Structure 1
């Protein structure tokens, strides 16, 4: 049987994982800078509203559901709460922010960005199958890195002479 060479293993693992490497790196870059922009979603409409809010202690999940229906929002509620004078409700495809004192606010409607939102989901997934796949992927990246050190065996550009300094 032919001996597996580092070059062949390095090449084949690289080919096998290239799509995942690129999408993981791409979505990682977007996640690193998500405080400056929201790559997962884009705004389709912003609408000003004026609401008479109840007392702050009555701003709860039940009120948020009723207000969503009143505002013709048929999404599922993700979270709601009052903080620093603002009442916020986050729906699946809408965000509502209302100033508690004045009742002035806005509804922001948005949609998921195709492809980008799916690749970013990779970083957030906690399902068991994904954890196992990520572990295999991590071990494969380690293998790709180590086998890459053996590709150039001797000479000025070998790992022994130059690569270890860069690593």
Structure 2
């Protein structure tokens, strides 16, 4: 077996630059296509909030009203606690962009809401419209601390009740 070598003409510097600009243009076009084809939520600030924004691991307390395209209200609550990560993807994304005390309008496409499946009063393939007010939020660490404090209080109450029962007295009033 023999190898034949063929001499190549050198490429000019201008030709190399032109090739790199072409490659860069293809990369930019691919990124633009990927970004434009990714579903996004509509997010409108009605009233600015203050302070930091919740993260996916945080817990929020919100006032909200959810509507369908035709204006039908499918859910509403004056003080609803949520773990951000356990809500629909579009709702979670919206929550992470809010600040305490702020009021917002979210428009969530079906792919970031409940998809093509019916979910209670929400027909499959529905775009969801929410009016949301972020009343309060706690970080994951703050929630763990609160849970520990509550467990300690419960243990203390149980110990007090056991002492009362051992002494034969009536249980303490709540």
Pairwise TM-score range, normalised by the shorter structure = under 0.3
Q: Which has the larger radius of gyration?
A: 2
RCO (CA 8 Å, sep 6+): is it higher in 1 or 2?
1
TM-score scaled by length of structure 2: 0.27
TM-score scaled by length of structure 1: 0.28
